[in-house]
Amino acid sequence: MPVAGQAQFQALYSFTGGSDGRNPNAGLLQASDGNLYGTTYNGGNDGVGTVFSITTNGFYTSLYSFAGNVYGGSTDSGNPYYGSLVQASDGNLYGTTENCGANYVGTAFRITTSGAESVLYSFTGGTDGNLPLGGLVQASDGNLYGATFSGDSYRYGTIFRLTTNGTLTTLYTFTGGSDGGHCCSRLVQASDGNLYGTTALYNTLGTVFQITTNGTLRTLYYFDGDRNGGFPQGGLVQASDGNLYGTTEVGGVPNWYALTGGTVFRITTNGTLTSLYAFTGGTDGGSPLANLVQASDGNLYGTTFYGGNTNLDNGWGYGTVFCITTNGVETVIYSFTGAVDGGNPVGGLIQASDGKLYGTTEYGGASGYGTVFSLLVPIPLNAQLNGQTINLTWNDPASVFYLQSAPTLDGIFTTIPGATSPYTIPLTNSQQFFRLTSTAPPVVINPIGGGGGPGHPSAMPSLKR
């Protein structure tokens, strides 16, 4: 299995629906200052969304309330949708909004980490497109790249380049034919320098495409809605193996049109697609809407909008967080209840510098307007006999876990000072138990089964030494 044990979940913040915002659709960004930044689609002082920061301990700050108006009277931005923020090389945060602006059809904006916002570009709905849903990415040339969902005479959207000074160039206009259309996800720049993305046009069931920074587009794959899925709403991620991974909202078996289905797929930069997993809409989740993230353990993590606890009041489930290996072994590590923990995540996950996964839910929480949450996934502790010694190994790049030992399973576990992987133990006739815990020392930890001591124990081998 890709993960060991149950993940440790924490609801960090519940949106009230007031000036702090409500319904965070997008995922989070960890900026260079270590804080997490995100957006809400609704709420705030004018009801059209906010930008916020939150520490990994849950201290929330509302940085900015958008003041745009879809009926005119304001040129400010409003209603940031799928796309999470990006921090550019100048230290500022950049994003897009679905509505508002000078022409009421969306904007690109810049905001400092202290909350000073400015509209970088207001879309017109002409050749530049409208409804930029998926956010921005900064490429290696220093420019920002993004897509619009609609606009121009073809109405199927565009790909654009935007400087940090606000100069926009339309690179490509979708026709709605074999090239697809309606890109609602963020682009990703792969190691070959090209940009990759997905479209979700309903009469083609979606595509994966490659586009150069000069605007030459190549369609890599057409979804058919069958086993390979359809309507890839989320973007792509390039994993350490060089392949791209993504999700589709529907598809798989048995019913491609089932709203609670969906798939996870792998595709090469040359367009060879492999469907890795088909969601059933049951306890394994259904309808993944966001991009995946590859964590430090090499596995991919994502969210589903439906599924999980399907025996709850709505019958559909409130979504899941799942882990999937690059070979397609899927494991649900958390199922939302729609209560104080949140429900129905739309955005993807990030792994922060502390090793935890962070994300948002659109609904649920104490007031029903969404949450920010964290998950700590336990890691396996491996033991191997090597002659007269035993080698303990674990993979913890963020140094989140501590090695502890106890003479009995129900004994007192103590932290082994300075223990790092690999850790070598001489072989003796005495029995010793070992575990990994996420709690920093003190040395003495409550025994397992003794009332839930601090920390989160991971896999625990029993060794005779």
Question: What are the pLDDT digits (tens) for 220-253?
Answer: 999 987 778 889 999 999 999 999 999 999 887 6
Q: Which domain holds residue 364?
A: 8-376
Strand ranges inside 135-242, DSSP E: 137-138, 144-148, 158-162, 168-173, 188-189, 195-199, 207-211, 217-222, 237-238
Is residue 44 within 8 Å of 52, Cβ to Cβ? no
Are residue 205 and residue 269 in the same domain, yes or no?
A: yes
* 8-14 vs 371-376, strand pairing mode: antiparallel
Decide if 121 contacts 147 (C-beta within 8 A): no
Question: Does pLDDT of 47 surpass 50?
Answer: yes
pLDDT at residue 258 in the model: 54
Token pair, residue 31, equals: 């900026």
Is 460 found in the same domain as 358? no
Choosing from 316, 343, 376, the residue where a domain stops is 376
Residue 182 forms part of a structural domain: yes
Main-chain phi, psi angles of 14, to 5 degrees: -115, 125
Rounded mean pLDDT of the chain?
A: 87
Q: Which amino acid is it at 259?
A: L
Q: Which amino acid type is present at position 328?
A: G
Question: What's the DSSP call for residue 40?
Answer: E
* Burial (Cβ within 10 Å: 0-12, 13-18, ≥19) of residue 459: middle
User: Do both 161 and 263 map to the same domain?
Assistant: yes
Quick one: DSSP state of residue 420?
-
Write down which residue in 376, 411, 434 finishes a domain.
376
Report cis status (omega within 30 of 0) of the bond before 422: yes
pLDDT at 73: 64
Tokens 């001591």 belong to residue: 453
- Distance, in Å, from the CA atom of 305 to the CA atom of 289, rounded to the nearest integer, reads 7
Share of the chain above pLDDT 90, in %: 64
Q: Give the per-residue pLDDT at 378.
A: 81
3 state DSSP class of 51: strand
Q: What are phi and psi of 164, to 5 degrees?
A: -70, -5
Task: Kindly tell me if the per-residue pLDDT of 442 is higher than 50.
Answer: no
Question: At residue 213, does pLDDT exceed 90?
Answer: yes
* Per-residue model confidence (pLDDT) at position 440: 45
Q: Give the pLDDT confidence score for residue 450 in this predicted structure.
A: 28
> Is the residue at 454 inside a domain?
yes
pLDDT band for 309, please (50, 70, 90 cuts): confident
Q: Which of 251-265, 281-295, 349-363 has the lowest mean pLDDT?
A: 251-265
Q: Which of 153, 160, 198 is nearest to 179 (CA)?
A: 198
Alpha-carbon span 33 to 43, nearest angstrom: 26
Q: Which residue has the higher pLDDT, 172 or 201?
A: 172
pLDDT band at 202 (very low <50, low <70, confident <90, very high): low
Q: What is the pLDDT of residues 257-282, one digit of tens each?
A: 555 689 999 999 999 999 999 999 89
Q: Are residues 230 and 301 in the same domain?
A: yes
47 and 174 fall within a common domain = yes
Give the C-alpha separation, 55 to 89, whole Å.
21
Token match 């140094």: residue? 399
The domain that contains 444 carries what CATH number? 2.60.40
Q: Which of 43-57, 262-276, 358-372, 406-420 has the lowest average pLDDT?
A: 406-420
The arithmetic mean of pLDDT across residues 425-452, rounded, is 57
Alpha-carbon radius of gyration of the chain: 23
Sheet containing 8-14: give its strands across.
Answer: 8-14, 371-376, 357-361, 350-351
Q: Is 26 left (phi over 0), alpha (psi -120 to 50) or beta?
A: beta
Distance CA(305)–CA(434), nearest Å, equals 37
pLDDT by residue (tens digit) across 83-113? 899 999 999 999 999 988 888 899 999 999 9
For residues 121 and 103, state if they share a domain. yes
Are 308 and 268 part of one and the same domain? yes
Identify whether residues 12 and 59 lie together within a single domain.
Answer: yes
Same domain, 117 and 183: yes
Q: Does one domain contain both 253 and 326? A: yes
| Shared domain check, 357 and 412 | no
Convert the pLDDT of each residue in 382-405 to its tens digit: 888 888 888 999 888 778 888 988
DSSP class per residue in 322-389: EEE-TT--EEEEEE--SSTT-B---S--EE-TTS-EEEEESBBSSSSB-EEEEEE-----EEEEETTE
Q: The domain that contains 253 carries what CATH number?
A: 2.130.10.10
Instruction: Count how many domains the chain has.
Output: 2
State the pTM of this model: 0.88
Final residue belonging to a domain, choices 313, 348, 376 = 376
Confidence of residue 461 (pLDDT cuts 50, 70, 90): very low
Q: Is residue 1 part of a domain?
A: no
